[in-house]
Copies of this chain bind each other. A is one copy, B any other.
C-alpha cells in the first residue's frame, strides 16, 4: 500500500525513526481501536473530546447527536486533529530519564465534511457500527428516519496523516547497565471480559459469536 504524503505538519521531527507514513501501519492502528480524541478550537480554546469512529479506505467517520457542541463546531469546517493511541507497555529503564512507553498512535489533520445524503449517512453508520463491533449492524434495529435526522455524521478524509510507533525494551546509558535495577517492559493489553446481559431484557437471545471472540 502506498504512503501518505508527508507535510511539514505531519513530519515526525523528534525521534524520526518512530515516524511512519504508510497506509498499512496507519490502517492497522486505526482498525484495532475504536476511540479517538478529537481536537478543535472554539474562541481560541482547544478542546479534546473522546469519541468513537469508523474507517473505510481513506475515510474516517465520526458521528454524534445533532445537538452536540463538538459536532456543531466541527460541521462548520474548522481545522481538526483526530488522534488514536494504543498503549502497549511501560518501558522500565535503569535511569528515570530513559523510562518510556511502547505505543502506536495516528494523528490526522484536516477538516470534516457533513454527510447529508440519507443513503450515504446510512452506509456511514453501518461502517461505523461494524468498526466498533464487527457484524453488529445486521443484528440490530437499524435507524429510523427520525433517528437519522437526530444523528450528525461527519467525514474526515485521511490525507494529512502520520503514525508514531515505539516498540522494544529500554535504551539505557552504557554505564547504567551494571546497576542492580530490574529493567524491561511491562506489557499492557486491553481485554474483553464476560458479556453482561441487560438486566432489563425480556428474552434471552444467545450471545453472538462476535462478542464471545471479541478482540482487536
Contacts and interface: CB of A to CB of B under 8 A. Distances in A.
28 contacts: A14-B65, A35-B103, A37-B83, A41-B41, A45-B81, A46-B46, A46-B80, A48-B82, A50-B103, A52-B101, A90-B132, A90-B133, A94-B141, A95-B140, A95-B143, A96-B137, A97-B141, A133-B186, A182-B195, A182-B205, A183-B197, A184-B197, A185-B195, A186-B214, A187-B193, A187-B195, A188-B191, A188-B193
Contacts of A125: 96
A203 B188 CA distance: 24
A35 B166 CA distance: 15
9 closest A-B pairs by beta carbon, nearest first, are A39-B48, A39-B46, A48-B83, A187-B193, A37-B37, A39-B39, A95-B141, A50-B85, A184-B197
B69 A13 contact: yes
Interface of A: 9, 13-14, 35, 37-41, 44-50, 52, 65, 67-69, 79-83, 85, 87, 90, 92-97, 99, 101, 103, 105, 107, 109, 125, 129, 132-133, 136-137, 139-144, 147, 150-151, 169-170, 172, 176-203, 205-208, 211, 214
